Structure 1
């Protein structure tokens, strides 16, 4: 979805603090969310990243080019007021995780087993969440203790981190890949390549679908931006100008 540009009505972009926590100032006034909440941030590194996005705008503010701002606003306006619902939505991906569904084509299934199974083994060991795999599209009934363990892993993220985790999960179609990125097990590019295993196999045999490639490019950028945001959430810098 393309967001409607806004006319730029500010000149100066700086960082400051509200109640000792970093924020971004537009002409000396704290940045507000669409719900009129002050954008209070976890650290100075994120404040600087968001300030850079606002400085880089021209005569119009192109919100689609400001992913760090968008994720911070989403955390404040959408995640915080409905945290339990967001946790449940993200955790729900684990019950039908992409990595659990194997192709009935033998060569693709072999590739999936080789590249996806290590991620499921990691989830079993690190998250105590063993997941069943199936061939075809019939849903697998996952163990209740695994579902509970995955929800606990998701719930262990703060509101800002949840905004990023949600974006990574939806971009890849896999909660396991998102949690692996969050844990530092894999990076964004590895997560993307693993999530696109089926599409890569199809392109090798039938050729590239231009429209699908364009859509995938947008998802990849969302994944990269969300991973950067997640890393910014964990910076330890303090408030300052």
Structure 2
């Protein structure tokens, strides 16, 4: 029977140091991913967060209440097995990065975008060595090939655990630069979330928002903030 479908059968979830990281045991039984690999993570802090999720289960196991377990499963079963493809997919965001596409009107929105995104553009040039072209409107304009190559090199330098978190930070925000800014603590993560929502916030201020849109935004925000937390835990007191 799959652990994901079983009712709780253990009394205690514990963390065990392994040869290449830290694993989680349920009364001594190894926790495995959906693909049956041993769930071994790079830090004790991350393993403890996963063990706490298992300890919190009552009755049937509910994966929706286990975000750290799900992210670790994704890292082991998916990202590690197709890392090159994930790198290519994420690096492509640099050619159409959210923060490079600017409104032409109204002047208030133009100003909000500039105030929010210009520091990120400058940071990308100074820290990531990628000078990005700003575009008026939404029609795609290719970025400089050297800038994209430098951004891709930074993505390639990420390990499996960082890349797993980075995937959500980039895909949710629509910005490769915001993803890197998140990993590097350029701004607090909640601030970076807000900066990724300048257009949506503007529209809501002008026309109001509906309940469905607010619920979707809340889910995305939760996943965005979780990705940063997963990244941070994967670096703390690094074992591998």
Q: Same fold (TM over 0.5)?
A: yes
Count of paired positions: 236
Match of 1:94 in 2: 94
Structure 2: distance between partners of 1:237 and 1:143: 36
After superposition, give the CA deviation of every residue in 1:73-122 in whole Å (9 maximum; x if it has no partner).
11101011111101111111111111011112222111101110110110
Question: Within 5 A, what are the aligned runs for 1:9-158?
Answer: 9-19=9-19, 21-105=21-105, 106-158=107-159
Q: Is the 8 A contact 1:15 1:24 kept in 2?
A: yes
Q: Residues 6, 172 of structure 1: CA spacing in aligned structure 2 closer, same or farther, 3 A cutoff?
A: farther
Give structure 2 stretches of 5+ with no counterpart: none
The answer to whether 1:188 aligns with 2:210 is no
Q: Is the 8 A contact 2:20 2:42 kept in 1?
A: no
Output the aligned Cα RMSD. 1.6
TM-score (norm 1): 0.93
Structure 2: distance between partners of 1:38 and 1:121: 42
The range that moved more, 4-13 or 155-164, is: 4-13
Structure 1: distance between partners of 2:14 and 2:177: 38
Give structure 1 stretches of 5+ with no counterpart: none
Structure 1: distance between partners of 2:120 and 2:238: 32
TM-score (norm 2): 0.94
